[in-house]
Amino acid sequence: MGWFNTCALEPGLFVTREPAVAEMFRAAAVTVLGRDRDLQFDFGCGLAPLRPGLPLSGGPVLAVASHAHVDHIGGFHEFTDRLGHMAETAGFAGLPGLETFVAEFRGWPHLVSTPPAPGWTIADWHLPPAPLTATLAEGDRIDLGDRHFTVLHLPGHSPGGIALLDETDGLFLSGDAIYDDDILDDLPGACIPDYVLTMERLRHLDCRLVVGGHGPEMSRTEMVAIAEAYLRKRG
Ligand SMILES: [Zn+2]
Ligand SMILES: [Zn+2]
């Protein structure tokens, strides 16, 4: 088996993960095939070249990062059109000012269960800068030709966390704004009052299928239950 594992969820919708990476950093990289261009939403940890392992069509690709944490931007530099929220520009560019958790990743015990290449050690890994080529904000549209996504700015987990919603078919790519696992809201850069507002918003969001930044896919009912549990705890 290769380094990446890709699942087809629906026609034109794929989720790629790194099964050998510790659960804390095992994030979902989502591919959506479009008529005019493909969307790649998030980019793994950068432990192996990502792009050749993705089920892309071979046409143009819009690369959108949900936020600048290391487990979501490892292969971002492999793409030329790189979009993300302006609140995290420093993180994407590898500059100080935004926590990307590179040091934690590097020092994580048992980071991988098998190495990505024979003889590999963490000393071989680095996170190449991937400065944004354009910024996204709340309400912006991502146009793939035959389907469109609306950008939602959902801070809390990180200041510039974004999610993408296809309002026509109800597909919601939530990044780390919400996922079916422990919700991390006390990291450097996180903000609980912002997260409460984000969860309040998600609780009322009209969608059908939710692909989170971690954990299994969710129905809307499952997502709402996670948002409401968070609000009971922190709201
Ligand atoms: Zn993550
Ligand atoms: Zn994160």
CA–CA distance, 25 with 13 (Å, rounded to integer): 22
Distance 103 CA to ligand 1 centre (A): 15
- C-alpha of residue 71 to centroid of ligand 1, in Å: 6
* CA 67 / ligand 2 centre spacing (Å): 7
CA 181 to chain centre: 14
Residues with CB under 5 Å of ion ligand 1 are 27, 71, 176, 213
Distance (angstroms) between ligand 1 centre and the Cα of 164 equals: 16
pTM of the model: 0.97
User: What are the start-end ranges of the E strands in 61-199?
Assistant: 61-64, 82-85, 134-136, 141-143, 148-153, 162-165, 171-175
Dist. CA 177–CA 157, nearest whole Å: 6
CA distance 13 to 32: 5
Supply the mean pLDDT for the chain. 97
Residue 52's alpha-carbon distances to 3, 6, 25, 38, 163, in angstroms, are 11, 12, 21, 14, 25
Model confidence at 94: pLDDT above 80: yes
Both tokens assigned to 68: 């600048």
Query: Which ligand is the nearest neighbour of the Cα of 160?
Result: 2
Give residue for tokens 């919708």.
13
Average pLDDT over residues 170-192: 97
Q: Are 201 and 162 in contact (CB under 8 A)?
A: no
Share of the chain above pLDDT 70, in %: 100
Quote the percentage of the chain above a pLDDT of 90: 99
Helix (H) or strand (E) holding 218: strand 218-219
> What is the model's pLDDT at position 235?
82
Ligand 2 geometric centre to CA of 8 (Å): 23
How far, in Å, is the centroid of ligand 1 from the Cα of 180? 12
CA 168 to centroid of ligand 1, rounded, Å? 27
Q: What is the mean pLDDT of residues 19-36?
A: 98
Kindly give the distance from the C-alpha atom of residue 175 to the centroid of ligand 2, in angstroms, as a whole number: 8
